[in-house]
Amino acid sequence: MSIRAATPDDAAAIARVHVDSWAATYAAVFPPKVFDEYPLSARERTWQRTTHAARTRPGHRIEVLVAERAGEILGFVSLGPFRAPAGVAVEATRGELNAIYLAPAHLRQGIGSALFVAGRHWLRSAGFSDMRLWVIEGNPAAHFYRAHGGVLVEEKDFELHGSSVAEQCFLFMLDD
């Protein structure tokens, strides 16, 4: 397995991993209509734009890394500056792990840990001092983040189709 920077050519495979993993992870958390709002074609366009920006816009400070084996994308991690709520000033050195997903067939093989570590290294090399990530309550990966040194620093709720969904923010310092 290798980890490398994603290119726009990877967008379809990234989107497939994203949709499959998201559905497997959150099937018991969200109503089915939520998944219909984010079809594969929309995810592919999003990852096409994101990977294109990461490759062509110097100083954009975003990255998508993929884990690959024999030409197959097994998972990915998306990174960049911390996305603070509108109107909230945030130091430019705060980073965020925006997404990390693995193809369901490749869970518990060390791929997630390898992507997580590579993401931390990328953020540190890009000048970020810490990394934050948001986890939806009910995501079984919350223990993974605690095991990797994450400290719960914030909780919030958001509304989705009339239901309140809880999210937790974990903080990781990047100076180690």
Write down the pLDDT at residue 50: 92
> Smallest Cα–Cα separation from 140: which of 172, 117, 112, 98?
112
Write down the pLDDT at residue 158: 80
Per-residue confidence band for 88, with pLDDT thresholds at 50, 70 and 90: low
Question: What is the distance between the alpha carbons of residues 141 and 145, in angstroms, rounded to a whole number?
Answer: 7
Write down the pLDDT at residue 136: 86
**8 Å CB contact between 111 and 119:** no
pLDDT in tens, 99-150: 999 999 998 899 999 999 999 999 999 999 999 999 988 787 888 899 999 9
pLDDT in tens, 24-62: 887 777 777 777 777 888 899 999 999 998 888 777 788
Phi, psi values for residue 129, rounded to 5°:
-100, -20
Beta bridge partners of 171: 132, 151
Write down the pLDDT at residue 114: 97
Sheet hosting strand 151-160, strand order edge to edge:
2-5, 63-69, 72-81, 94-102, 130-136, 163-173, 151-160
Query: Measured between alpha carbons, how far is residue 46 from residues 18, 31, 35 in Å?
Result: 11, 23, 16
pLDDT at residue 75 above 70?
yes
Per-residue confidence band for 89, with pLDDT thresholds at 50, 70 and 90: low
> Smallest Cα–Cα separation from 170: which of 158, 153, 155, 157?
153
